[in-house]
Amino acid sequence: MNMVEPPIKEKQIKKGDFKKALKSLKKELELEPNNVELLYKMGNLYHEANKTNKAIQYYEHAVKLNPNHIDALYNLGLSCEKVKNNNKAKECYKKIIRLHPSYIDSWKGLNNADSLYEKMIKIYKNIIGIDPYDLDGWEGLGDFYYGIKDYDKALVCYEKAVELASFDVDLWIKRGNSFAAIKEYKSATECYEKAIDIAPNQAISKNIPIIKSYEKLIEKDPKDVNLWINLGYVYEYMNNLDKAFECYEKALEIDPTHALARYKWNELYTIRSEL
């Protein structure tokens, strides 16, 4: 992927400097009217001079000639936000994400990687700033934070996403994974259980680490009958009847009078006997 330098930061430009730079760029464009980089620079010049509508014209021309020009798209989005064309701005930001989902990864280890992390975060924040009900924006920002191991911020984003799409199995799993990453295993298992409740086969097929979460909880409280029963349920979902039976048996060892544990033990005992 050919990368270009990040967009220049917005700054004040003196009137005399603007005229001088404009004159120079116009001469170059007369010779190469379809030079994308010159068009991009012209957009930046107008952007710096706070002539936003003119900047938009040049950015749009650059993007038309090279739809993959990330930085022209980015600055076009910023300029569109300035003139309150939020739909167009959002379209630009989302196109950057679609074009180069690994945009940041390609810069890892470089001196300007941190600034590019910040830029991608700003792109997502711009999207949800324009439209706080944009599910893809919240989920994408959560994925990004999760990718850079900022799990607390990822959780905030996934929580917002779940509010918008409470029956999305993937979102519950992503929340669970984030909780597991910070060793909040109780909350992790609750999220995984929610995913299973919504669509058992779909959730289990994604190999969610719910068993590990339950095992971590059981390490802390090995006498909790309900944890053993719930782990048994998970093994049943996974069609691992032997493991499930062992869990119910363990629950009965802890509390021989527990009605649900005895019921599940008897149920599986009968099923296994018939196999």
- Residue 16 has a pLDDT of 63
HSE-CB at 224 with a 13 A cutoff on CA atoms is: 15
Count CB-CB contacts under 10 A for residue 32.
11
Q: Which pLDDT belongs to residue 110?
A: 44
pLDDT at 100 (0 to 100): 65
pLDDT value of residue 43: 93
Q: Residue 127 in contact with residue 93, Cβ under 8 Å?
A: yes
Instruction: Return the pLDDT at 262.
Output: 93
Cβ neighbour number for residue 221 with a 10 Å cutoff: 9
pLDDT of residue 102: 53
Q: From CA 30, how far away is CA 270, in angstroms rounded?
A: 86
CB of 213 closer than 8 Å to CB of 187: no
Residue 9 confidence (pLDDT): 44
In the prediction, which pLDDT does 1 show? 29
Cβ neighbours around 15 below 10 Å, total: 8
Burial 103-130 (b: 16+ CB within 10 A, else e): bbeebeeeeeeeebbebbbebbebbbeb
163 touches 187 (CB < 8 A): no
pLDDT in tens, the chain (275 residues): 233 444 444 444 555 678 888 888 889 999 999 999 999 999 999 998 889 999 999 999 999 999 989 889 999 999 999 999 999 999 998 888 887 655 455 444 444 545 667 778 888 999 999 999 999 999 999 988 998 889 999 999 999 999 999 999 999 999 999 999 999 999 999 999 899 889 888 887 777 889 999 999 999 999 999 999 989 988 988 889 999 999 999 999 999 999 999 999 999 989 887 76
- Residue 255: per-residue pLDDT: 95
Of the candidates 249, 199, 206, 247, the residue with the CA atom closest to the CA atom of residue 227:
247
Domain 221-275 architecture: Alpha Horseshoe (1.25)
Asked whether the beta carbons of 208 and 174 are under 8 A apart, the reply is no
> For residues 91 and 74, what is the distance between their CA atoms, to the nearest angstrom?
10
For the chain, domain boundaries: 1-100, 221-275
Task: For the domain covering 1-100, report its CATH number.
Answer: 1.25.40.10
Within this chain, domains 1-100 and 221-275 share the same CATH topology: yes
The pLDDT score that the predictor gives to residue 3 is 35
Output the 3-class SS for the chain. CCCCCCCCCCCCCCHHHHHHHHHHHHHHHHHCCCCHHHHHHHHHHHHHCCCHHHHHHHHHHHHHHCCCCHHHHHHHHHHHHHCCCHHHHHHHHHHHHHHCCCCCHHHCCCCCHHHHHHHHHHHHHHHHHHCCCCHHHHHHHHHHHHHCCCHHHHHHHHHHHHHHCCCCHHHHHHHHHHHHHCCCHHHHHHHHHHHHHHCHHHHHHCCCCHHHHHHHHHHHCCCCHHHHHHHHHHHHHCCCHHHHHHHHHHHHHHCCCCHHHHHHHHHHHHHHHHC
